[in-house]
């Protein structure tokens, strides 16, 4: 999805963004595997039923985030390894109207998501290589069957988006 340049927003855009950023988890029935933890001992409030795999504390597992920042530094979007948007940082956006701000946030969020999914691709391909699988074959499967972008394609999209979006007005 690329940003609309005419400044018009329709509700379908929000639905498409939600579908891209928030997977619905169809096909997963976590009710039988996980039970809620009432004491809040883990960050998510969920833990395995036998408590064998409950983390001692969230600090033991560092959070990995992939951030894309606008060239002006006014906005940043960060996504976790799975591509879920974790945070949007706003510094000074007084020069943007609401429509421009929305467009900027959506674009940066999508780019951060793509960057995170590319990292997921690279990590998975490398782990499978270490397990004896053909890295090229695994990478091709991840790209074509799963839809995880490569680092190169994510970097190219970022460069292309920034070149188009932030070119000077006198071009």
- How far apart, in whole angstroms, are the C-alpha atoms of residue 143 and residue 38? 40
Residue 2 inside a domain? The answer is: no
**pLDDT at residue 32 tops 70:** no
Q: Are residues 71 and 56 in the same domain?
A: no
pLDDT(123) > 70:
yes
Q: Is residue 5 part of a domain?
A: no
Among residues 44, 61, 78, the one where a domain terminates is 61
Residue 98 sits in the same domain as residue 143: yes
pLDDT (tens digit, 9 = 90+) per residue, 52-66? 555 555 556 678 899
Q: Is 0.85 topped by the overall pTM?
A: no
Number of domains, the chain: 2
- The pLDDT score that the predictor gives to residue 16 is 55
């Amino acid at each position: 999805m690329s940003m609309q340049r005419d400044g018009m927003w329709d509700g379908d855009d929000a639905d498409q963004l939600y579908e891209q950023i928030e997977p619905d988890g169809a096909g997963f029935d976590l009710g039988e595997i996980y039970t809620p933890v009432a004491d809040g001992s883990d960050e998510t409030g969920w833990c395995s039923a036998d408590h064998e795999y409950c983390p001692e504390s969230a600090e033991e597992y560092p959070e990995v985030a992939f951030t894309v920042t606008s060239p002006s530094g006014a906005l940043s979007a960060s996504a976790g390894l799975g591509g879920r948007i974790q945070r949007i940082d706003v510094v000074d956006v007084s020069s943007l109207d609401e429509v421009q701000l929305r467009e900027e946030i959506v674009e940066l969020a999508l780019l951060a998501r793509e960057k995170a999914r590319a990292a997921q691709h690279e990590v998975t391909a490398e782990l499978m290589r270490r397990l004896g699988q053909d890295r090229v074959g695994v990478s091709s499967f991840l790209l074509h069957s799963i839809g995880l972008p490569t680092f190169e394609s994510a970097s190219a999209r970022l460069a292309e988006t920034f070149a188009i979006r932030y070119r000077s007005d006198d071009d």
